[in-house]
Each structure stands twice: as C-alpha cells, then as structure tokens.
Structure 1
Amino acid sequence: MNFTPRQRSARGSGAELRAEILDATKKLLARSGHVDAVSIRQIAKIVGVTPPSIYRHFADKDQLIESVVAQVFEDLNAEMLAASDPNESPMERLRQQGLAYVRFARQHPEQYRLAMTPGETAGAVDQVLTSSAFAHFAATVTECMNLGVITPGDPVPVVLELWTSAHGIASLLIAKPYLPWGDVEAFTDRVMRSICVGRVVIDNVLGADVSADALAQWAAENRRVS
C-alpha cells in the first residue's frame, strides 16, 4: 500500500496532527483486531510523518492506545443517553442502559478489552467510563431510590452490581462468541431484567438477608398461573 507523504504542518496545527494520529490509530486497531498488530511506525507511515513526530504528542504506544480507546468510549455516553426513554420508569431505564452498554461493548470488542485491562492507576479510559456508564447508572439508581423502588442509601454499591452484570455479559459475549447464546440481545435483556427485578424483590419484599431457599419458596408460592 502506498502512502502520500504528509505536507509539513503549519505552525499551530499540532492539534490537527494529533487528531490525525488518533484517527489513523483507531482505524488500524479496528482493522487489525489486536493492539499487538499496531505499531508507531505503521501509524507514522499512514499519517505521513516520522515516528518522532508522534512521540511529541504521545509518550509511548500505550498512551496513544489509551487515548484512542478513551476517544471511542466517549460515544458510550451518547448511546446510553439515546437508549434511555425519559417516558419510561427509572427501573426500565436501568434495563435499557444495561442493554446499551453491552451493545456498545460488542460493537467495539478490542477497544472494550483494552478499556478493561487491569491497571495500577486510573487513566483516561477510567475517567470516560466514570463520566458515562457510571454516571448514567448512578443517576437512574438515585431516581429509583427517591421513588422507594430501591432502598434509599448510597447508590454506589447498586451501580457496581449493575455494572458488574453488564460487564460480565459483555466480556463473555466477546471472549466466547461460539457458546450457545441464542439471540444475544434477548439473552442480555433476560439477564438485565433479572438483576433489576431481583433488586426490587429483595429490597421491597423479602429483605436484604433473604436466603436462596427462602427466595425459591417465595417464588414457588407466587408462581404465575397461565
């Protein structure tokens, strides 16, 4: 593949070059499917600059990749917002937000994997996730608490329960697509509904200390008759 050398940037166009580098990296990562297949030299060739030009904007490949992943995940905020129908109840919106989160992860599998890679400190991706996924879940959980649907208190533990569920579904669907999931959207929906309904039942009917046996007995006594 031939690349046209990039024209020398005019003074003050550093932001434009940075954007070009991020865009080229995003496309290369999506095309290659794995971060190991992406190199600074390749990116420099695509953009039409020398590798040192890239290092003036990013300390190393890891920082560049993190910036690309953070940029991709900025779209998660819009997707979760679009999936939340303001005319629906807060509990229904929690389900919709969980579905949107899993759907987004499946649409960006490599970026999602990188976003969830363990790290010693919080980085750019964590900041984006906190301001999108966490913030949406937290706001809706708080609404549920205000209505008494979920026991009022600190919303963080409930948010982490929801996020853990959504993350688990997304991670398995990405890592093990060959398992017999059936309709993936329907599967995700069943799990998210189970989490939401379980929280309501435990908080409002059976209590936080209910045992699995007591829950099963309650379900048997209240089984819907067709």
Structure 2
Amino acid sequence: MTATRTRRTRGTGHELRGLVLERATDLLAELGDVDALTMRAVATASGVTPPSLYRHFSDKETLVQAVIAARFEEFTSVLRTAATNAADQPMARLEATARTYVHWGLRQPGHYRVLFSAANAGPAGLGLSPETEHPGAESYRTVIEAVAACLPVPRHDATLILATELWASLHGIVDLRITKPDMSWPAWDQLVDAALGAVRTAATNSSP
C-alpha cells in the first residue's frame, strides 16, 4: 500500500465516513495490530487531512470500534441473508450459513483478518465496558441459532458446543487458506460438509 494518496475532493460526511472505514480496514489488515494503526496513516490513506478525520472520529479507539462494528455488521448480514434465501429447512439454512461463512472469508481476506486475526481488537482493545456486547457477538449468535434449529430438542450446553465446534472448523478452513495459500488443501466445500457432520449426527440422534 502506498504511503500517500491524492487529496480527495470534498464529499458528503457519509461518503467520507465510508471511505475512511474502508481505508482503515485495509491498513489494519496489513498491519495486523490495532496498536500499530495511526490516525495520521488513516487520514493519508483516505486522502484527507487529520483534522477532517477527527471531525468524524474523535480518537483512534472510536475509529477502530466503528471499523470492527461495520465489518461484523457486513459479515452477519451476509450470513443471515444466505440462511433466509436457502430452502425452508433448518439443515439447509445451516448449510447455507456455513458455506457462506467460508465463501465470504475467502473473497474478503482483508476484512476477515481484521475481524479474526488483528491483535488488540478484543473488548479491552476496543475500550468496551464489561456490559457492552462485542460487535462479533451477533454473528456468533447467528450460527448458534442455526444449529439450535436443526436439533429436535436443543439443549443450551450441547447447542453451544456444536455451534462453537462448527465455528472453529469454518474459521480454520478460511484461516489456513489465507495464511498458507500455497498448501494443497482439500476443496473447501468438502471440508465444510465434513464440519457439518457433528450437527447432522446430533440432529439424527436427538430424541424427545
């Protein structure tokens, strides 16, 4: 990424905010650490002056919160849309959610790295209070709900384990391809199908 950009012409506040979030996402994906990100670098990448940037984001913490929130909102929306558009069967909706998770991560590796690999992007790094939910909670809840819908008699503990196990598998499929792209990994759709095996088994074996 080049260090300087042409100063952009003035646009609407909404347009500038969107541009800044995109450029901050790109920088954070490249740096891999919230602590390494600077407001000056984001301003330069966005083609605006630091004072213009501060008019929209009072400090770096506020900016990073907005970046993480925007990217997770995008991710969650994609997952929910995939489930909604799938066949009207719980397992079909879960399969669509799982495949979309991996497909989105592979198509948006920078965004994915920001959400799941950037250092200091947890609750403490984002400056979230203990009672404030992390922006990623909704996407996790989406997978939990999709798994629960597949079980005839869902139990919270069993559902949480199955959903977390599935999430970890999907994350691994994406992360391995992003970090080690030269390896000869099995086809990702086959791995997704295997990752869904535990839920299919639980759905079949569960009884009232």
Does the pair score TM above 0.5?
Answer: yes
* Mapped partners of 2:119, 2:19: distance in 1: 28
C-alpha spacing 1:189/1:18, structure 2 compared with 1 (3 Å): closer
In the other structure, the counterpart of 2:154 is 152
Percent of counterpart pairs with the same letter? 25
Is it true that 1:140 corresponds to 2:146 in the alignment? yes
Unaligned runs of 5+ in 1: 206-226
Is it true that 1:93 corresponds to 2:93 in the alignment? yes
Is it true that 1:18 corresponds to 2:17 in the alignment? yes
User: Runs ≥4 in structure 1, deviation > 6 angstroms?
Assistant: none
* Mapped partners of 2:134, 2:67: distance in 1: 13
* Mapped partners of 1:128, 1:135: distance in 2: 11
Map 1:190-205 to 2 at 5 A: 190-200=193-203, 203-204=205-206
Deviations 1:93-113 (A, max 9, x none): 222211111111112223222
In the other structure, the counterpart of 2:114 is 114
How many aligned residue pairs are there?
Answer: 189
* Mapped partners of 1:182, 1:152: distance in 2: 32
Q: TM-score, normalised by structure 2?
A: 0.69
CA RMSD of aligned residues (A): 3.4
Deviations 1:134-181 (A, max 9, x none): 232222223223xx2xx4310323321221221122211211222212
Amino acid corresponding to residue 134 of structure 2 in structure 1: Q
Map 1:6-155 to 2 at 5 A: 6-7=9-10, 17-26=16-25, 28-29=26-27, 34-35=30-31, 40-56=39-55, 57-60=57-60, 64-84=63-83, 85-116=85-116, 117=118, 119=120, 121=123, 123=126, 127-131=134-138, 133-145=139-151, 148=152, 151-154=153-156, 155=159
* Mapped partners of 2:7, 2:13: distance in 1: 19
C-alpha spacing 1:142/1:52, structure 2 compared with 1 (3 Å): same
C-alpha spacing 1:69/1:108, structure 2 compared with 1 (3 Å): farther
Q: TM-score, normalised by structure 1?
A: 0.65
Unaligned runs of 5+ in 2: none
Q: Secondary structure at the match of 2:155?
A: coil
* Mapped partners of 1:140, 1:5: distance in 2: 43
Task: Verify the 8 A CA contact 1:6 1:47 in the aligned structure 2.
Answer: no
